[in-house]
Amino acid sequence: MKETLKDKNIRMRIKSLASSFSEKEKRIADFILKEPEKIIHGTINQIAAETELADSTVFRFCKRLGYSGFQELKIALASDQSNSMQEIHQRVTKHDDEKTVLEKIFQSNVQTLMDTLEVIDETAFSQAVEKIVAADSVTFFGFGGSNSVAMDAYHKFIRTGLSVNYQVDSHLQLMTSSQMNEGDIAILISHTGHTKEVLEILDILKAKNVYTIGITGFAESPLNRDVDLSLNTLSEETDFRSEALASRIAQLSILDALYVSLMMKMGDQAQDSLDTIRQAIHIRRLK
């Protein structure tokens, strides 16, 4: 089941759609995020004047976010403001000492995980577990920062006893995708969902009728739109840390949860595989 905007707060709705916004929509989105009090206490005419846009453009943006109009957006934003705790995600500044940076980064990671937990489609997650258990093989794909996440997933999932694959080289990833078949599963990891290389692989996989699962931070990205099943993350950008860096903690956690769910579902079969691996690597440990 694909993720929808239902039950998300405004910030989450904006983040999940951000990659598909026009320049005018980005202007309104930035204004909402930076000046929520002006939205709550203003009129659509005032907001249009502040953003130098037409009233109709502001109204259409409200509809784009899933609201009936500006008034419903105002009510939702006021509710978000009153129900939320003090913003835990704080910006790191050049004046912060090491202890403050440490605290802010940990708080940011906690916020990323909690936000992602809110946007994850539980039905989609359960379907992913079912599909992976029944697959002939599972292959992980990712480029750039997502490549290290794919490698970590391979490192975990090999313990299940399932047939799992991963290639670090981009050309080898292309070659691997061309050899996959119906019955196999591909898990494609990309924060933006717009990475050229991962979309090229997706095209190859779709032509081969391979079932695809996407892990991405943008609900309206090409990857999210075209995979068979999607699991979405949500993260914030700061002055010293990009969204992509922050999203890795959420990507890793989704894959951790998939791995644990698989181990539980596979029972003795998975435990036997884990015991075998532990015995194999035991010889590398110092006596």
Q: What whole-number distance in Å separates Cα of residue 98 and Cα of residue 129?
A: 40
Whether 191 contacts 217, CB under 8 Å = yes
Q: How many CB atoms lie within 10 A of CB 209?
A: 11
10-83 classified as CATH 1.10.10.10:
yes
Distance, first Cα to last Cα, the chain: 50
Model pLDDT, residue 243: 59
> Which residues, listed in sequence order, are joined to residue 139 by a DSSP beta bridge?
165, 186
* Predicted confidence pLDDT, tens digits, the chain (287 residues): 444 554 467 877 887 787 788 999 999 999 988 888 889 888 999 999 999 999 999 999 999 988 989 988 888 888 776 555 444 445 677 788 899 888 888 888 888 888 888 778 889 999 999 999 999 999 999 998 899 999 999 999 999 999 999 999 999 999 999 999 999 999 999 998 999 999 999 999 999 999 999 999 887 789 999 999 999 888 765 555 555 677 889 999 999 999 999 999 988 888 888 888 888 887 777 66
The CATH number of 117-282 is: 3.40.50.10490
Domain ranges, ordered by start, for the chain: 10-83, 117-282
